[in-house]
Chains A and B, each alone.
Chain A
Amino acid sequence: MNLVIFSGPPSSGKTSIILKTIEAMRTRDLQVGVVKFDCLSTDDDILYEKAGIPVKKGLSGALCPDHYFASNIEEVVQWGRKAGLDLLITESAGLCNRCSPYIKSIMGVCVIDNLSGINTPKKIGPMLKAADIVVITKGDIVSQAEREVFASKVNSVNPKAMTMHINGLTGQGAFELSTLLYEEDQELETVTGMELRYPMPSALCSYCLGETRIGDAFQMGNVRKIELGEIDE
């Protein structure tokens, strides 16, 4: 089985891109399945089901979604193998733009959209910078100039990645992506022992543990204060 990890900001078009890409693989007689990771709720699994794609969803609830991903990916891989998949795709939303679920030696794809603004590539951390392929969506509704500027900004934070423009509505470009996701001679048995490409943010303050009250007296653990400086006269 092959594994590909998709990630990207909410509403950037991940599900549409994955659906169109799997559709483009239909003729290749490959069994493709998806596991969708999200935080509070998702209905995307229904979309995959409708398309006849084996799907599971994992909701992290009160936990940090990317931490939840890291603690469950091995189980997910074993599910995929039992289900007889040739290709397993995981989809997760980067919620604070800091985390990235990519694993060393497993292909990582980041989906971002042209509408998110030209400063977005600068704001997104390892989720964009450590991806192997960057898919840029919603190019059909912005000008050519903005597409070029956006792509060049992506390129300057991640020059190693291959950048592709894909239209999630018409699927233009999805076939091309589909040719890059599956290697026949690769057989993944487990991800145990593999490493994340980038460590997740350190946490654990009293609020991580359920504290709800505001104020210095209730803040414990890894706490940091904002620097506001002096007010200018």
Chain B
Amino acid sequence: MSKMTIGEILQKYPFSMSYFVENKLDIDGHEYETFQEFLGGFDQEQVEDLAMDKKELQENLEIFINQMNEFLGIKEDMGVKSLTILPGNDKSGEPEGFNELTINTSQIISIVGPTGAGKSRLLADIEWTAQKDTPTGRSILINGELPDKKWRFSSNNKLVAQLSQNMNFVMDLTVMEFLQLHAESRLVEDIEETIERIIQAANSLAGEKFQLDTPVTALSGGQSRALMIADTAILSSSPIVLIDEIENAGIDRRKALNLLIDEDKIVLMATHDPTLALIADKRIIIKNGGISKIIETTEEEKEILQELEKIDAFVQAMRISLRQGESLSR
């Protein structure tokens, strides 16, 4: 790489542009120089002013390009087909109440238990691909095998994406700019098509359609959640999605879950809302820092779910009528 000119590097690895931009290196007009020659153009005073470290910049460019190439390789073969949790102990050192839990892509598992019971620890164990080296002593397998170390140490390949009630958009960007930025950071090739898919998906979840030029910070609660879910389903690199409650307002939750499933995600959902919890095939019961048991959703519960969904639909219809300025009747 040290012999390539900047122009050649950019042609072969277009994503390296973001390295130059983020490191504030204006390479315009220097395409025919090698990176070393380009850095040679900065004198000592400029180096001090810019707090620049030439040797490090050169080493890092190579590391950056290697990481991105690896990342592109992973994208082609997303790899994660199943997640297996092997039991450890709860806070009192008692063994957990299950033998092995394997969750496949497009499967939903719900998590129930009081606040502070150990949901965060369970999630951290998955994220860190624990190997009996965390306080619970649990082990995590990916595709039935010992997981690759990359899940622990790389910044661009995190195993778990999170969606929670408290999350907000904080960037000062429009919906369009926001999605573009995210797509670029994920090295998506067809950015426009991807954005189009996300918008369509988000609009099918939200009660109110939104415009591409709306600032993300100005979206309603339902619209924000819809956009976050659609974006996580379609653009996030993480194969596992953890949902921490989805509020029952302004969004079709059943559709939202279906969207994640259609995108081959493994879905873990912490919730005490029966309409959500019963959608899952199984639920994990957390107590005293450990998994006390795993319950399969029974036939009777599935029937209860149908009734709950009817009530839900009834309330939703009222909500829509209210929003449209109608009077409600029986």
B-binding residues in A (CB < 8 A) = 24, 27, 98, 114-115, 117-118, 121-122, 125-126, 129-130, 134, 139-149, 151-163, 165, 167, 170-173, 175-176, 179, 198-199, 201-202
Contacts and interface: CB of A to CB of B under 8 A. Distances in A.
B51 A126 contact: yes
Contact of B169 (A98, A142, A159): A142
B155 interface: yes
Contacts of A143: 167-169, 224, 228, 231
Contact of A144 (B63, B155, B162, B166): B162
B158 A157 contact: no
Contacts of B224: 143
B48 A201 contact: yes
Chain B interface size, under 10 / 10 to 19 / 20 to 34 / 35 or more: 35 or more
B153 to A, nearest CB: 5
Contacts of A154: 155
B153 A140 contact: no
A139 B127 CA distance: 14
B64 interface: yes
Nearest to B65: A159
Given A145-B236, A159-B63, 7 more contacts: A126-B53, A143-B224, A143-B231, A146-B169, A155-B155, A172-B121, A175-B134
A45 B73 CA distance: 47
B53 A130 contact: yes
B300 interface: no
B167 A121 contact: no
Contacts of A202: 48
Given A114-B170, A145-B232, A148-B185, A155 B156 contact: yes
A79 B171 CA distance: 44
A98 B168 CA distance: 30
16 contacts: A115-B170, A117-B170, A126-B53, A130-B56, A139-B162, A143-B224, A145-B178, A146-B171, A149-B182, A152-B155, A153-B185, A160-B60, A163-B154, A172-B123, A179-B133, A198-B53
Interface string B162-192: 1110111111000000100110011000000
A145 B124 contact: no
B170 to A, nearest CB: 5
Interface string B123-157: 11001100001110000000000000000111110
A156 B22 contact: yes
A219 B192 CA distance: 54
Contact of A156 (B18, B59, B158, B181): B18
B163 A144 contact: yes
Interface in B205-261: 224, 228, 231-232, 235-238
A167 B120 contact: yes
A20 B123 CA distance: 17
B323 interface: no
B13 interface: no
